[in-house]
């Protein structure tokens, strides 16, 4: 990933071996990482951004130019010297070059790209990285998930304990996010009490497990301040590219919209954005269901389930059932006692002359029934190889 490439190039330049050995080592990295490594080398040597499609060509031209300079002067020329002359005299990408120590340069870059309070990336750095990750995902046909987090009732913490306490809370939350993310993920403070995490090569469901882990740790966080313990929760929204959005700005907007849904649903939640606007995460449920129309003398009918969630069920039926009809559904879950749900038909789609797809939204169930269904969903996810059982908070998504 890009951060690892940048770090590897920095290490080579900081170690400062003889120039020929340095070039050999950089070429070895390029053979592994490709053009993005050339781009990182040139950015560190000359403080300029070269388009990815031109980076390899510029790197080879720079090496040729250095070789010519060394032959002309009669001694080995450093890459830094050659790059300064190459980009100011040959390619004319820079007009007023300035020599700066690499450690000083890295410190300046860090100040420009990082939030001074939390140490995470700042908004500009997050926007820049998201643009690059989307470009990479397009090139390699990958997916990206974006998590937008916002601390709940943060103004109350500032008003009650003071802004110094608020700063401490932001630092602790930032530390949790940094600890939980992978090296290839990008975490940033997006402004005020808002945080963003870019999750490359991550489906929305896998991103939901990460988001739930972060949400749970923040919920359990105790920030000591002036002999008191400050507690805080967070609401979040998840969106994925390319399923939900086609651009950087639309992806951010989708994640933000999902986050507002989490706020309106009671806070301390993670919500998923989706064109289907479902409130709950659904799983496959290819089992038989017994269906009875309430307020009717009709007998119970057997239908084939398609998927199920805490919020409802989708099934296939040979008979059409009108939208708005109230149903009683009985479902069997492995060796457990059958569960009985009540709900209302919200969607009917005709598949063939004698086949209909029917979506039912559950009415509010008792806690025992809801818990039993959540337990089944957890077992299903665990059987699919998910290392972290999903919580009821995670099930409550759009």
| CATH of residue 304 | 2.40.10.220
* Total of domains in the chain: 3
Rg, Å, the chain Cα set? 28
Residue 284 to residue 156: CA distance in whole angstroms? 42
Same domain as 258, residue 350: no
Determine whether 37 is exposed, middle or buried from the number of CB atoms within 10 Å of its CB (0-12, 13-18, 19+). buried
Q: Which residues of the chain have pLDDT under 50?
A: 1, 275-278, 387-390, 392, 395-398
- Residue 100: Cβ within 10 Å count: 12
Same domain as 127, residue 264: yes
Same domain as 257, residue 211: yes
The pLDDT score that the predictor gives to residue 167 is: 94
Determine whether 188 is exposed, middle or buried from the number of CB atoms within 10 Å of its CB (0-12, 13-18, 19+). buried
Same domain as 287, residue 266: no
Q: Is residue 334 part of a domain?
A: yes
Same domain as 164, residue 54: no
Residue 190 to residue 151: CA distance in whole angstroms? 12
What's the angle, vertex CA 41, arms to CA 40 and CA 47, rounded to 5? 80
Residue 149: which of 280, 3, 263 has the closest Cα? Answer: 263
Q: Taking a C-beta distance cutoff of 8 angstroms, is the pair 16, 103 a contact?
A: no
Same domain as 315, residue 179: no
Q: Taking a C-beta distance cutoff of 8 angstroms, is the pair 155, 220 a contact?
A: no
Domain boundary among 113, 148, 167: 113
Q: Is residue 395 part of a domain?
A: no
DSSP one-letter string for 126-150: HHHHHHHHHHHHHHHT--EEEEEEE
Which residue range forms the structural domain that includes residue 162?
123-272
Q: Taking a C-beta distance cutoff of 8 angstroms, is the pair 316, 351 a contact?
A: yes
Task: Give bridge partners of residue 197 from the DSSP assignment.
Answer: 147, 187
Pairing of the two strands 270-272 and 234-241: parallel
The pLDDT score that the predictor gives to residue 63 is: 95
Same domain as 315, residue 208: no
pLDDT, tens digit (0-9, with 9 covering 90-100), for 90-110:
888 877 766 666 665 555 555
Domain boundary among 57, 88, 113: 113
DSSP one-letter string for 373-395: HHHHHHHHHHHTT-SSPPPHHHH
Q: Is residue 390 part of a domain?
A: no
| CATH of residue 147 | 3.30.70.270
266-280: burial string, b at 16+ Cβ within 10 Å, e else: eebbbbbbbeeeebb
Same domain as 361, residue 229: no
Q: Is residue 153 part of a domain?
A: yes
Handedness of CA 76, 79, 80, 86 (dihedral sign): positive
The pLDDT score that the predictor gives to residue 111 is: 58
Residues in Cβ contact with 220 at an 8 Å cutoff, skipping those fewer than 6 apart: none
Q: Is residue 118 part of a domain?
A: no
Domain boundary among 84, 113, 142: 113
Q: Is residue 278 part of a domain?
A: no
The end-to-end CA distance of the chain, in Å, is 31
Q: Is residue 94 part of a domain?
A: yes
Same domain as 288, residue 239: no
Residue 212: which of 397, 23, 7, 24 has the closest Cα? Answer: 397
Same domain as 215, residue 297: no
The pLDDT score that the predictor gives to residue 15 is: 74
Residue 233 to residue 1: CA distance in whole angstroms? 31
Helix (H) or strand (E) holding 227, with range, is: none
Q: What is the pTM of this model?
A: 0.53
The pLDDT score that the predictor gives to residue 218 is: 95
CA distances from 283 to 110, 309, 374 (A): 43, 6, 11
Q: Is residue 180 part of a domain?
A: yes
Same domain as 288, residue 255: no
What's the angle, vertex CA 221, arms to CA 215 and CA 227, rounded to 5? 155
Same domain as 69, residue 160: no
């Amino acid at each position: 990933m890009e951060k690892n490439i940048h770090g590897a190039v920095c290490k080579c330049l900081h170690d400062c071996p003889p120039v020929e050995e340095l070039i050999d080592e950089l070429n070895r990295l390029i053979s592994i990482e490709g053009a993005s490594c050339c781009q990182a080398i040139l950015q560190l040597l000359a403080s300029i951004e070269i388009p990815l499609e031109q980076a390899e060509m510029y790197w080879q031209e720079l090496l040729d130019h250095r070789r010519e300079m060394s032959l002309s002067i009669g001694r080995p020329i450093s890459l830094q010297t050659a790059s300064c002359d190459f980009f100011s005299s040959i390619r004319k990408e820079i007009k007023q070059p300035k020599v700066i120590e690499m450690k000083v340069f890295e410190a300046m870059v860090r100040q420009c790209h990082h939030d001074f309070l939390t140490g995470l990336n700042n908004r500009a750095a997050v926007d820049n990285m998201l643009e690059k990750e989307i470009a990479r995902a397009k090139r390699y046909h990958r997916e990206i998930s974006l998590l937008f987090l916002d601390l709940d009732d943060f103004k109350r913490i500032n008003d009650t304990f003071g802004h110094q306490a608020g700063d401490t809370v932001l630092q602790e939350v930032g530390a949790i996010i940094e600890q939980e993310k992978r090296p290839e993920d990008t975490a940033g403070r997006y402004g005020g009490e808002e945080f963003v995490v870019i999750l490359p090569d991550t489906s929305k469901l896998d991103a939901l497990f990460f988001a739930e882990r972060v949400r749970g740790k923040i919920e359990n966080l105790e920030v000591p301040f002036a002999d008191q313990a400050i507690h805080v929760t967070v609401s979040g929204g998840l969106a994925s590219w390319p399923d939900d959005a086609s651009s950087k700005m639309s992806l951010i907007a989708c994640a933000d919209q999902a986050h507002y849904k989490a706020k309106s649903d009671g806070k301390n939640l993670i919500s998923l954005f989706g064109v289907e606007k479902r409130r709950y995460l659904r799983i496959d449920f290819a089992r038989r269901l017994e269906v009875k129309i309430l307020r009717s003398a009709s007998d119970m009918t057997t239908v084939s389930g398609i998927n199920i969630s805490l919020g409802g069920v989708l099934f296939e039926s040979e008979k059409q059932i009108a939208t708005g009809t109230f149903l009683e559904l009985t479902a069997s879950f492995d060796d457990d006692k059958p569960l009985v749900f009540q709900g209302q038909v919200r969607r009917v789609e005709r598949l063939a002359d004698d086949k209909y797809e029917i979506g039912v939204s559950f009415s509010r169930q008792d806690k025992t029934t809801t818990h039993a269904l959540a337990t089944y969903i957890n077992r299903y996810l665990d059987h699919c190889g998910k290392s972290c059982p999903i919580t009821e908070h995670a099930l409550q998504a759009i």
